[in-house]
Amino acid sequence: MSKITKTDAEWREQLTPEQYRVTREQGTERPFTGDYQVSEGQGIYHCICCGAPLFENEHKFEAHCGWPSFDRPLAEASVEEHTDTSHGMRRIEVTCKRCDAHLGHVFPDGPSDTTGQRYCINSVSLDYHPNE
């Protein structure tokens, strides 16, 4: 998978202001406002910026935190994780490997019967494609 790089002006043209703020400026959507708090069936969540497949609905769980949460990415290779020390916290930021879009953060408080991880992801950074 080759990297996608675009200028800020190109991203601004492609994205809504809210999508731009979250994915290109490390923003966070307000909790309980996103589109993907509840979604049923099977399908794949793609990066809103570049279309890369990132998460599977099968790995989504209800974390009651106000953002869609997954216990793992679709594939190890689809996302990157970075230490983020902004806002006086030490967190692990999750970005799209293909285009570096900010997606959210991963916390080690996920369901202990699976991976134990909680990928807490902004809805606006995702585009859901249900399976046929």
Query: Which residues carry out catalysis?
Result: 120
Q: Within positions 18 to 47, which residues make up the interface with Zn ion, using CB under 5 A?
A: 47
Number of residues that bind Zn ion (CB under 5 A): 8
Please, what is the minimum distance in Å from the beta carbon of residue 128 to Zn ion?
A: 15
**98, 102, 105, 118: which one contacts Zn ion (CB under 5 A)?**
98
65 labelled ligand-binding: no
Beta strands in the chain (DSSP E): 43-47, 53-56, 60-61, 69-70, 79-84, 91-96, 102-107, 118-121, 126-130
Please, what is the minimum distance in Å from the beta carbon of residue 18 to Zn ion?
A: 16
Side by side, the strands of the sheet bearing 102-107 are 60-61, 69-70, 118-121, 102-107, 91-96, 79-84
In angstroms, the CA 71 to CA 89 distance is 22
Annotated binding site for Zn(2+): 47, 50, 96, 99
Q: Which residues make up the interface to Zn ion (CB under 5 A)? A: 47, 49-50, 52, 96, 98-99, 101
